[in-house]
């Protein structure tokens, strides 16, 4: 709990201290890149002692980044539509189920 609060406080502090940068023309691109990078690494990492999946992380992070691009540069509704369409495709192709299966089979080995 304390770790999460310190992260949130750090993000708020970074937003206040670097406000002029975030509002500049490079701000949205930087937010999208940092989001893509952290989401790709976090979702690709299966956990302690579990297999790392670069492809899962890159695909998931790229989908979120694509939605953020649409939100920042087109419209919020278009961005939500992109994310919903990608979520539909992910569930239709059993994208998440295959990753969960991969993590579960690694536990039993």
Bigger pLDDT: 104 vs 33: 33
What is the C-alpha to C-alpha distance for residues 107 and 32, in angstroms, rounded to an integer?
34
Please list, residue by residue across 21-59, b when 16 or more beta carbons sit within 10 angstroms of its beta carbon and e when fewer do.
Answer: eeeeeeebeeebeeebeebbeebbebeeeeeebeebbbb
Q: State pLDDT tens for residues 69-79.
A: 898 888 889 98
- Three-state SS at 51: coil
Could you tell me where the DSSP H helices lie in 45-94?
54-73, 76-92
Q: State pLDDT tens for residues 9-65.
A: 877 787 778 888 878 888 888 888 888 888 888 878 766 666 677 888 888 888 888
Neighbours of 20 (CB within 10 A): 8
Q: 0.85 exceeded by the pTM?
A: no
């Amino acid at each position: 709990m304390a770790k999460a609060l310190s992260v949130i406080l750090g993000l708020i502090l970074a937003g206040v201290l670097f406000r002029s940068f975030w509002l500049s023309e490079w701000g949205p691109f930087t937010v999208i890149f940092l989001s893509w990078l952290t989401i790709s690494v976090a979702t690709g990492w299966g956990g302690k002692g579990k297999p790392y999946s670069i492809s899962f992380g890159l695909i998931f992070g790229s989908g979120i980044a694509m939605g953020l691009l649409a939100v920042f540069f087109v419209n919020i509704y278009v961005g939500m539509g992109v994310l919903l369409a990608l979520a539909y495709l992910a569930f239709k192709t059993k994208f998440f189920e295959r990753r969960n299966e991969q993590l579960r089979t690694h536990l039993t080995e």
